[in-house]
Amino acid sequence: MFRVPTYISRSSIHGIGVFTPVFIPAGTVIWTLDTEVDWLLSAADLEGFPEPYQERLRGYCYLDESGFYVLCGDNARFMNHTEEPNCDDRGGASTIASRDIQPHEELTCDYRAFDVESRGESAEPFVRSA
């Protein structure tokens, strides 16, 4: 769940992105996993949804180290991948601002830092359907 104010808008990276209306200093925790908001789904849970819902949900999930698909319950599901992100997700269950983030700047991440399925692939597969 985001710990900073956010909004969604059109992204120059891909479709829709998540932005912040406020200045965020480097080192600020901007997101933490919160099971009251974020869903942890097993592969069987995900497969239990009928199509086209399963595919739609999968487009917004990531596979964590413990084998669960995480579906962020807030705007975090709209974060886009970039090779030079302004957010650092290598802390496991939290994300920090890797540098100062200006008001109305898009919040970005490197999917390979937290999505097991994205590791070792080119940037092309990181584009999630919106």
Is the pLDDT confidence value at 124 over 90?
A: no
Which residue range forms the structural domain that includes residue 31? 7-37+72-114
- Does residue 81 lie within any of the structural domains? yes
* Average pLDDT of the chain, as a whole number: 88
CA atoms within 13 A on the CB side of 5: 7
Burial of 43: CB neighbours in 10 Å, binned 0-12, 13-18, 19+:
exposed
Distance from C-alpha of 100 to C-alpha of 86, rounded to nearest angstrom = 8
Tally of domains in the chain: 1
Prediction pTM value: 0.83
26-38 per-position pLDDT tens digit:
999 999 999 999 9
- Does residue 45 lie within any of the structural domains? no
97-110 per-position pLDDT tens digit:
999 999 999 999 99
Q: Which residue has the higher pLDDT, 126 or 16?
A: 16
Q: What is the mean pLDDT of residues 3-19?
A: 95
Q: For residue 129, what pLDDT band results from cuts at 50, 70 and 90?
A: very low
Distance from C-alpha of 81 to C-alpha of 71, rounded to nearest angstrom = 16
Distance from C-alpha of 6 to C-alpha of 52, rounded to nearest angstrom = 28
- Does residue 27 lie within any of the structural domains? yes
| CATH number assigned to the domain comprising residue 12 | 2.170.270.10
- Does residue 46 lie within any of the structural domains? no
Distance from C-alpha of 58 to C-alpha of 64, rounded to nearest angstrom = 13
- Does residue 122 lie within any of the structural domains? no
Is the pLDDT confidence value at 23 over 90?
A: yes
Q: What does the DSSP 8-state code read for residue 105? A: P
- Does residue 13 lie within any of the structural domains? yes
Q: For residue 120, what pLDDT band results from cuts at 50, 70 and 90?
A: low
